[in-house]
Amino acid sequence: MTNPVTMDTRALEAVLFVSDEPLTPAVLSQALEMDRAAVEALCEQLQRELDARGAGVVLRNVAGGWRLFTVPESQPVVERFVLSSRQARMTKAALETLAIVAYKQPVTRHQVSAVRGVNSDGVLRALVDRGLIEEAGRDEGPGRPLYATTPAFLERLGLPSLAALPSLAPLLDAATVPEDAADRAVDAEDEEPDAGPDEEPASEPEP
């Protein structure tokens, strides 16, 4: 029979694995349906287990939460894998962020996050690490870097310059078509004559 503690540890490891940011004890407590003290003890137990079995990941308590990290010894291998042009596939979040920077540059991280509706700091750092965007000055106020694309971005897309980026106008026009059609349908309904005072609305025939 599987030890309940082992099951809890496996569930904890699975939740931490799918998260891309540190998870606080409160979040883990809700996810695992146990009190915070038990979560803390479980995190410490998993931390010891990973270390004891020489796993490729370690569990650390950082920024008020728990998060899995690759072991420092594996850094060269992981770095080669991540930066490999064959393996480094762009996520949807990265593509969205890169598109915003490309069309609105120079742009701050706050502006990017406002357009996407979510915090984009991590994605921006990843794009900087890949050499696709870079800091291009600072906005008014301290600590507000402006981001712009790099020559490597143009090289990856096969573009001679930013002027060669596809125009957004056709896409925006296409996006308004369904709304216009819906508006016309509503207008048509508004123009239909109302039933006369002596007229009954049509009803389904009785079976």
**CA–CA gap between residue 81 and residue 110 (Å, rounded):** 30
Tokens 């007229």 correspond to 199
The mean of the pLDDT values for the chain is 78
Domain(s) labelled CATH 1.10.10.10 in the chain stretch across: 4-73, 92-162
pLDDT band at 204 (very low <50, low <70, confident <90, very high): very low
Enumerate the β-bridge partners of residue 149.
133
pLDDT band at 198 (very low <50, low <70, confident <90, very high): very low
**CA–CA gap between residue 201 and residue 156 (Å, rounded):** 63
Q: Which CATH number is 92-162 given?
A: 1.10.10.10
**CA–CA gap between residue 153 and residue 37 (Å, rounded):** 47
pLDDT in tens, 56-92: 999 998 878 899 988 989 988 887 776 665 555 678 8
Does residue 205 carry a pLDDT above 90? no
120 with 112: CB under 8 angstroms? yes
Residue 176: what pLDDT?
Answer: 52
**CA–CA gap between residue 24 and residue 104 (Å, rounded):** 35
Longest CA–CA span in the chain (Å) reads 86
Residue 129: what pLDDT?
Answer: 87
Tokens 């357009």 correspond to 115
**CA–CA gap between residue 134 and residue 121 (Å, rounded):** 13
Its pTM surpasses 0.85: no
Contacting residues for 207 by C-beta, under 8 A, at least 6 apart: none
Q: CATH fold of 4-73, please?
A: Arc Repressor Mutant, subunit A (1.10.10)
